[in-house]
Amino acid sequence: MKLNVKVFQFNGCNKCFNETILLNKESDLNVELISKPNEWKGERIDVAVVTGYILPNDKKILEKIQAHTSKIIAYGDCTTTGGVFGLANQKGHEVSPIKKLGIRVNEINGCLAEYEELRTVIIGKDLSKFKPLCKVCKRKSTCHYLDEVHRQIELSENQEMCFNDLGFLCTGYIAQECKERCVDYGSPCRGCKPMIERSGIRMLGMFGTLMGNIEVATEASKYGATDKLADIEDDVTNSLPDIVGDFFRFSLPSSGLPKGRLASMGSLLEDIFIGRLIEELPLITGLLGGSNAISMTLNVIEAYERGTKIEITEQTKKYREELRSFELDLHKAIKDQDPSKYKEITEKIRRIAGNMNLSNVFFGGFKTLVDLNDNFQDYKTNIFSVIEGDYKNGSIEYSIDTNGVIIKMKIMEGKK
């Protein structure tokens, strides 16, 4: 007898929802994808898969789902921890991990969450034990204290040393091994698949310790007649302009931190971007763009390249055009719910962009070699400078300050 599986997409990016199209190729499952859960009439189901981020007013529908099934699988970071949309909680939004609404779930973390794990949990098997990411990472770590912290704008050519040793914040310490493997494509891990509870807070402690050689400001205590930690800005605070985005990118609502009290600057989607750094922008759009992630990421990158006159090569243009055409093919495969076509196209995207989060795509070109026969110099990214200003391309408009922090973001939805 076939298992009756229904996949419910709640809010936000639909990348995990689209990934469940692959379930259609399994002969022992009877799968239905439901993109509007509030219109679902309700019938007995064997397994419910929930994707997308959850808001408190989704509780009623989730309880309805819970009443009709004995197994709910929360698939992807947005559902399990709040995911990248959870960053909007910094501006007072209420993105909530599904467990906080009192729903009993099996959790599969990841952004993008892995299809193989979903398949295993649906058929009722246990997930195999994962190794820590650092154990499988090709880079070698020494854990020496850092003399300085680098931002991703100062890209390093060193492919052998640990990102953290080089001074680039990598949250691989708290992460499990994964399929997306951003570290293999020149992007430090952002910890979408944490191994431990409250991973962001723990990583903050770890990186704070690593920063041991960087000067921290102290001052004489007025009453105690000894030294105390000073409140002024120093090398430690200037090294990390966006701690929330760096350490809590996927876990702010489940981190144990209080809900942010900053003023909202627009929609939930726009609030995610405010306060983030320019070099993190392509990674964030790659994460939350859903089926439009490629065009959204390339729009963001090209806006900055045009505005700051970063030259790009013909080869870069060619690869970007290919990615854009793959995106159109992907839309078609999703519309037709065709698993083999979907798999074929995502593999093509992965070949150029590294993974479905587009880790290899960056300002000025690509971070790692796409094809072994290529001359990497033809499309390699270079160090770029942060230039204050307003940038616009297609449906996206944003402004950055002198420090490279995004202070304004406008996304015209429904427009490519």
Contacting residues toward another protein, per CB under 8 A: 89-90, 94, 198, 201-202, 204-205, 207-209, 211-212, 214, 216-218, 221-229, 231, 234, 236-237, 240, 242-244, 247, 253, 255-262, 275
What single letter denotes the amino acid at residue 183? V
Q: Is residue 145 classed as helix, strand or coil in its secondary structure?
A: coil
The residue among 223 and 311 lying less far from another protein, judged by its C-beta, is: 223
Q: How far is the CB of 209 from another protein (least distance, A)?
A: 5
The residue among 32 and 215 lying less far from another protein, judged by its C-beta, is: 215
The residue among 42 and 212 lying less far from another protein, judged by its C-beta, is: 212
The residue among 14 and 254 lying less far from another protein, judged by its C-beta, is: 254
The residue among 168 and 363 lying less far from another protein, judged by its C-beta, is: 168
C-beta of residue 202 within 8 angstroms of C-beta of residue 174 = yes
C-beta of residue 219 within 8 angstroms of C-beta of residue 401 = no
The residue among 226 and 385 lying less far from another protein, judged by its C-beta, is: 226
Closest among 168, 162, 163 to 148, alpha carbons compared: 168
C-beta of residue 335 within 8 angstroms of C-beta of residue 17 = no
Q: How far is the CB of 59 from another protein (least distance, A)?
A: 16
Query: Cα 147 to the chain's mean position, in Å?
Result: 28
Q: How far is the CB of 239 from another protein (least distance, A)?
A: 9
Q: How far is the CB of 226 from another protein (least distance, A)?
A: 5
DSSP state of 51: E
d(CA 243, CA 303) in angstroms, rounded, equals: 25
Burial of 68 (0-12, 13-18, 19+ CB in 10 A): middle
Structure tokens at 187: 């992007």
d(CA 182, CA 169) in angstroms, rounded, equals: 13
Q: How far is the CB of 77 from another protein (least distance, A)?
A: 17
Q: How far is the CB of 392 from another protein (least distance, A)?
A: 27
